[in-house]
Amino acid sequence: MTGRICASAAGKVILLGEHAVVYGRPALAIPLQGLRAWATLTPHAGPFRIQAPAVGVDALLSDLPMEHPLARIVYLTAEHFGFAPPQALLRIDSEIPVASGLGSGAAVSTAVVRALAAWYGVEAPPEVVSALVYEVERIYHGTPSGIDNTVIAYGRPIYFVRGQPPRPLAVGGTFFLLIADSGIPSPTREVVLDVRRRWEADRERYEGLFDRIAEQVEAAHRAIVEGNAAELGARMNENHRLLQEMGVSAPVLDRLVDAARRAGALGAKLSGAGRGGNVVALVEADAAGCVAKGLKEAGARRVWQSTVHEKNT
Ligand code: MEV
């Protein structure tokens, strides 16, 4: 008899390259180890049941539509490993705000795959977890690049190009980040669709923007390898400007970005799909408190701290 099993997965933040990554350009992303989703499996007599109180789910697996993201990841995982869903209760809890660009959906799916794999006593290597979670991401996001499921399944900072295995980021210093939640939901699917419509209407302009974003990503990548925070901050600022030009920022995000810079951040930009969601700011360690205060005064609902350093490479 299997005992209680608990697995988790980190949220994520995109450092540079969102949207352009959907069109084959590179992007950089890191896991947010302090912000996690949890999947707990408890043996119980009866068919597989799922409880996710935060999203109002308390149902037998068989009563959920096949395309429900939680049902889908359970079926996909069971099918992949060749087992039937066990006689168990699956409980989902998450610290990651929903629709905020922090990968809550991919983190929940990843935690479920890990919990089921542990239940079955099988290995779930990151490339397998990532591929299973990608199938569910398609329900949420339509045509995702795969960056969210990849960074979350691998659980380390990555340089990512669509369709290629991720490259671990070689981090040459310690970088201090603040992530500020605007409190406005970021409708990833709609924003990605809107960018596609704009790209279809003016491919030359959008391909040019994506190329300029790719240049920022490459320069930021070099800055991370060299441990050059000032340069990384400058690249983040320029990436934000290009995202504004692309039409995916919003006054609330620009306000947070400006507040972070005024309070001393080395760089700041929207992160994720935009129009809402969160802003990421790069700060010097001793400026973190002031920048966090500035972000809150400018309306941030929550501010989280994270560091990127050699240890997470
Ligand atoms: C969403 O986290 C990032 C986007 O680039 C979409 C994607 O890569 O699938 C906006």
Residues 9, 152, single domain; the answer is: yes
CA distance 189 to 165: 24
**Do 166 and 148 touch, CB atoms closer than 8 A?**
no
pTM value is 0.96
Residue 105 belongs to domain with CATH number = 3.30.230.10
pLDDT of 140 reads 74
Nearest atom, ligand 1, residue 144 CA: 9
**Do 36 and 12 touch, CB atoms closer than 8 A?**
no
Residues 48, 184, single domain; the answer is: no
User: Is the CB of 137 inside a 6 Å radius of any atom of ligand 1?
Assistant: no
Residues 75, 190, single domain; the answer is: no
Catalytic residues: 148
pLDDT of 313 reads 45
Residues 213, 244, single domain; the answer is: yes
pLDDT of 309 reads 87
The answer to whether position 88 is within a domain reads yes
Residue whose CA is at the smallest distance from ligand 1 atom 10? 273
Neighbours of 283 (CB within 10 A): 25
**Do 115 and 90 touch, CB atoms closer than 8 A?**
yes
User: Is the CB of 15 inside a 6 Å radius of any atom of ligand 1?
Assistant: no
Nearest atom, ligand 1, residue 195 CA: 10
Nearest atom, ligand 1, residue 248 CA: 10
Q: How many domains does the chain have?
A: 2
Domain assignment of residue 212, given as a range: 171-312
Q: Decide the pairing of beta strands 88-94 and 57-60.
A: unpaired
Residues 121, 229, single domain; the answer is: no
Query: If you measure from the C-alpha of residue 93 to the centroid of ligand 1, how many angstroms do you get, rounded to a whole number?
Result: 23
User: Is the CB of 108 inside a 6 Å radius of any atom of ligand 1?
Assistant: no
The answer to whether position 121 is within a domain reads yes
Query: If you measure from the C-alpha of residue 270 to the centroid of ligand 1, how many angstroms do you get, rounded to a whole number?
Result: 12
pLDDT of 311 reads 59
Residues contacting residue 63 through CB under 8 Å, at least 6 positions apart: none
pLDDT of 69 reads 95
Query: Could you list the mean pLDDT of each consecutive 10-residue stretch along the chain, which spans 313 residues?
Result: 89 98 98 96 94 95 95 97 95 92 95 97 97 92 92 97 95 97 93 96 98 98 97 98 98 98 98 96 98 98 93 51
Residue whose CA is at the smallest distance from ligand 1 atom 9? 144
